A and B are shown apart, each in its own frame.
Chain A
Amino acid sequence: MEYKIKINEKVYHVDAGLPDGLGCTNMLLDEKARSVSVTSFSDNYLHLKVDGQAVNLFTARTTEGIWVWVDGRARLVENADKVERRKARGPSEVMREVTPPTPAAVVRVLVEEGQKVVKGQGLVVVSAMKMEITLSAPYSGIVRAVNTNVGDQVKPGDILVEIEAHAEED
């Protein structure tokens, strides 16, 4: 059986055979052959043997994929085919929006409507968890709207400043 597994930006190709009587499977990971067996102790704990070497994985399932912990690192493991289907449903503009990363309070508004801004320029300063975070322009352009005031409680998804993109600046 073939699998396309995605972690961050990398896609791994796995070709897995059927398990033998002892629960051992041969898998081809990006062309490298491995012998893998799994013992599952609970919803959150998998014990792997890969070519005879033990690996302990801790897992937590979400709608987007499975968080897997190995040796101090957590990463989201997704089925790449499922990721493609989700992407097809509509573009995500999250990285290009001026929105707070966590629920926060607005403490300073640094720009106004009609103002020209350059990529990286500070637009709004919000305060969350006792830290001040400056939201900056994801690209250069003109401020079309400022949708917030000092003192507002805002959350991820709220578009605080709208910027109409310019062609590349001279």
Chain B
Amino acid sequence: MRPWPVDIKATALSECRGLSMFSKILIANRGEIAVRVMRTAKEMGIRTVAVYSDADRESLHVFTADESVFLGESDPAASYLNIDKIIGAALQTGAEAVHPGYGFLAENPVFADRVTSEGLVFIGPSAKVMAALGNKTTARRTMAQSGVPIIPGMVDTEVDLVRLNQLAEAMGYPVLLKAAAGGGGKGMRIVDNPAALAEAAQAAAGEALTAFGDGSIYLEKYLDRPRHVEFQILGDSYGNLVHLFERECSIQRRHQKIIEETPSTALDSELRDRMGAAAIAVARAAGYVNAGTVEFLLDRNGKFYFLEVNTRLQVEHPVTEMITGLDLVRRQVEIAGGLPLPFSQGDLSRRGHAIECRIYAEDPEADFMPAPGRILFARSPEGPGVRFDHGIYTGFDVPVHYDPILGKLVVWAEDRSGAIARMIRALKECVILGVKTQIEFLLDVLSSDAFKAGETHTCFIDDHFAQWHPHSTGDESAVLGYVAWEMTGQRTVPSPGDVSAMADWTSPWHTLGAWDLAR
């Protein structure tokens, strides 16, 4: 470990070392994460290249980039998962590096390898590290061998149903079927009893095949009401490794995270130090470089178990940025550019509390089924400590082919109760009309006694909100507003060339008391 003095500026360093930052990067992703990466690139003076499919012709990330390259049909296999086309786009535009975002090819070692073999820089860990950690069963095996505690279960995948049955019996129900090739809840099924195992195995394998191109599954013991606590790690190519504290991601539905926060209410500084040290040990054992996340499950007795390493920037990275004041994408780009970390573990501190809510195009009244459509009106929340990373705008058609995430609403406040109050206020200001969202559901979760008490664990939604349905608060105001609106007669929308009519709309005082039925 070579400690670098913190006051050396990155630019001075690069001059000393004869390195220069990339002049152009391609973002191999879409939606909110592509926009977020492009923003940091712009701030660093790096030109950006977007790639897009047919369904994304009018997506925000295309408008945000300096250049864009059309990939083809909307199906991910023909576009965002198509390595040849993405490499082609990078070479054609002269991009020097590729940022993969999250999902799609972000954890695909074949892609990472291809990027480097074409003379481009992959902004992430090496293909070798990715492959070793990306396969969940191989990773479990490595961790077990390194003495990192793992959840009791299989370290190999299994296809034989009889064998799976035997292993499940030996482990004791309930068990969890998981995909070896990826996460995000895809290919996961909880199995309570032997009768349900066969169908669950088939469903899990099918979903895994669709999501990751690999249907291999394995079994783990299912822990009772664990917390999902993950640690952000950052490593440069000189062997310096740090962790940027934890994120608590226990509020999940169908194994998809919906609310994340930091710090975790379950960690005191002693446990944080131990888990952080374990995260670094995992990263070091793997030879990790760039940004990654080490996930643990924390049981009710304060024991933690290694779950997996995500070899990419995660959806919920903003909460870490809020409490540390760091820009993780900037760090990723600098590390990929050969710069050392400008801080050591002792230099890092956290401040306050941050919460993130993922906002999905889902219908809470139809079991949260994806609900694509056109956004008729959108308005971002604002104010101190509010950040909204999204890929939407008024008039945008949310495509059906991809993950229905519309954006992430993130808040920071001095303490947890302040953050909860701020998130509630921000959600109420986060107007999205035209597609259904679960904002109302999020408001109920955040306002609940259980959430306020910090009793978050992975069965939280099932335990407290299984029978949730929307209520009618505010309907009376909506009715009165509708009537008042109708009574003003047909509101005329000024046509494009109608300048004088536009002038009438400038002052709100102009319309006060101006509706006059007796014409």
Contacts and interface: CB of A to CB of B under 8 A. Distances in A.
A43 B488 CA distance: 13
Interface of B: 186, 203, 206-207, 210-211, 366, 369-372, 376-377, 379, 400-404, 427-428, 430-434, 436-437, 439-440, 443, 470, 472-488, 491, 493, 505, 508, 511-518
B377 A23 contact: no
Interface in A1-40: 1, 3, 5, 7-8, 10, 12, 14, 16, 18-19, 21-23, 25, 27, 29, 34, 36-40
A73 B470 contact: yes
Interface residues of A, number: 62
A42 B404 CA distance: 29
Interface in A46-78: 46-48, 50, 55, 57-62, 66-75, 77
Contact of A133 (B369, B443, B488): B369
A7 B475 contact: yes
Contacts of A108: 206
What is the predominant secondary structure among interface residues of chain A facing chain B? strand
21 contacts: A1-B487, A16-B484, A18-B517, A19-B487, A19-B515, A27-B480, A27-B483, A36-B484, A37-B513, A39-B511, A43-B493, A44-B377, A48-B480, A59-B377, A72-B443, A73-B470, A73-B474, A102-B400, A128-B400, A130-B211, A130-B403
A60 B434 contact: yes
A103 interface: yes
B476 A12 contact: yes
A128 B370 contact: yes
Contacts of B210: 107, 127, 130, 132
Contacts of A74: 432-433, 436-437, 439-440
B465 to A, nearest CB: 16
Contacts of B211: 130
A1 to B, nearest CB: 7
A46 B484 contact: yes
Contacts of B474: 70-71, 73, 75
Interface string A70-103: 1111110101000000000000000000000111
A7 B402 CA distance: 31
Nearest to B517: A18
A68 to B, nearest CB: 4
Max chain A C-beta neighbours (<10 A), residue from B474, B479, B505, B508? B479
Contact of B512 (A23, A34, A57): A23
Given A44-B379, A67-B433, 7 more contacts: A16-B487, A22-B512, A36-B484, A40-B488, A60-B434, A61-B376, A67-B434
Contacts of A66: 482, 485
Contact of B483 (A3, A42, A103): A3
Nearest to A127: B210
A60 B470 CA distance: 20
Nearest to A16: B483
Contacts of A34: 480
B369 A50 contact: no
A167 interface: no
Contacts of A71: 428, 473-474
Across chains A and B, which 7 residue pairs bring their CB atoms closest together, nearest first?
A23-B513, A60-B376, A70-B474, A38-B484, A60-B433, A72-B428, A68-B478
